Amino acid sequence: MKLVEEEKILPNSSGIINIVPEEPDDMWLLYNLISKGDVIVADTTRKTAFGRVRLTLEIKITAIDYDKVGSVIRVAGRNLVHNEHVDAGAFHTIEIERNKPFDLKKKVWDSDAIEELRSYGNAAKADLAVLLIQDVSAELYSIGKIATTLCANIEAPSKTNRAAKSKSQSKSNKFFENILTEFVKHVNFNFVSLVIIASPVGTEFRQYLLAESRRQKLQQIEENKERVVVVNTSGKATLKAVLQEPEVMKLIRGKNGAVEITAWKDLCDMLSNDSSRACYGSKSVEKANELMAIDTLFISDELYRSANHGSRHKYTDLVKSVKKAGGKALVYSHNHVMGEQLGQLTGIAAILRFPLPDLDDMEL
């Protein structure tokens, strides 16, 4: 994400920032940042009697929607500045897309929003891609610190069509060709430092990928073939299961978002093998924090950035308290593969510094 502040924004004051989102992670962060009552200035199109015209509008936001699949934010509201095509006060919807600049104005920028926006504006891109290939379908994922994005879902040719092909052609057929097309479209090695192919036919597809990159002169793939690795799986492996494989854990170490994945595995292991060193649920976590027992806090963005001001204040204070006591706090988007799992554990959990076997029965 690129940011340009016209004037340095101070906490609890008004200000404007020019933003260019670049990655799915950026879109999810912005969806949580933009609020009703904010103003955006952006290029858009409007249908008129003369056809569709391109213009710049200044909209005071009344509604916000996020399209996870398309990675698009839609904001609707009233136009503030009259022009020849749109009256002041008229409603309009603007789509915020990747690589499309816009200005965001807030009457009051809180310190957490400023810190988060600047930190992610300077953060690394989503640098991990995972390609799962099954017998009848393939899925290509981009995994970043905030979001896990399903970039492509590729269906294999029907059984009837596959049966018509010779056995030697059964894999290097239209299915592999379609996977390659999506791979080229979505994997940008300027950002992606590792691609994991997880499949029983992973080696076979990698060979096809490299052969086609030479034949078609796909220079980016040829020059980065060392970044494409294979993890053999059996049966129908899920993304979550693949990411928790010991071999994969070693491969992703140091990647953007790896901290969240490895920490989550540590929590799951602790809950299974030493449950007195872990807890989940708001009451248990709050008790553990009062005892300064939290080593790592796991919290969903739905709690941390709740639309309910009382709830949001409660959980932001909890995060600050954990950090002040020397603990770590990890905020998981429900768009992240591990964030979905955290949501099933009430949205909040913790690994403890020391065992608290009777935590639920304690009264503090």
Domain boundaries, the chain: 2-124, 128-252, 258-362
**Residue 56 pLDDT greater than 70, yes or no:** yes
> Considering the chain, what percentage of its residues have pLDDT values greater than 70?
91
The C-alpha atoms of residue 113 and residue 118 are separated, in whole angstroms, by 9
At residue 121, the pLDDT reads 58
CATH 3.30.1330.30 fits 258-362, yes or no: yes
At residue 307, the pLDDT reads 66
CATH class, domain 128-252, is alpha beta
Angle, vertex CA 260, rays to CA 257 and CA 263, nearest 5: 140
- Determine if residue 20 is left, alpha or beta; phi over 0 gives left, psi from -120 to 50 gives alpha, anything else beta: beta
The answer to whether the beta carbons of residues 102 and 39 sit under 8 Å apart is no
In single-letter form, the type of residue at position 111 comes to S
Over residues 117-136, mean pLDDT:
76
At residue 159, the pLDDT reads 57
Helix (H/G/I), strand (E/B), else coil: 256: coil
In the predicted model, what is the mean pLDDT of the chain?
Answer: 86
**Residue 171 pLDDT greater than 50, yes or no:** no
**Secondary structure, 3-state, 44-94:** EEEEECCEEEEEEEEEEEEEEEEECCCCEEEEEEEECCCCCCCCCCCEEEE
Residue 210 Cα to chain centre, angstroms: 29
**Residue 314 pLDDT greater than 50, yes or no:** yes
pTM for this predicted structure? 0.67
In single-letter form, the type of residue at position 60 comes to K
**Residue 189 pLDDT greater than 60, yes or no:** yes
CATH number of 2-124: 2.30.30.870
Query: Model confidence at 168, in pLDDT bands (50, 70, 90)?
Result: very low
The answer to whether the beta carbons of residues 92 and 121 sit under 8 Å apart is no
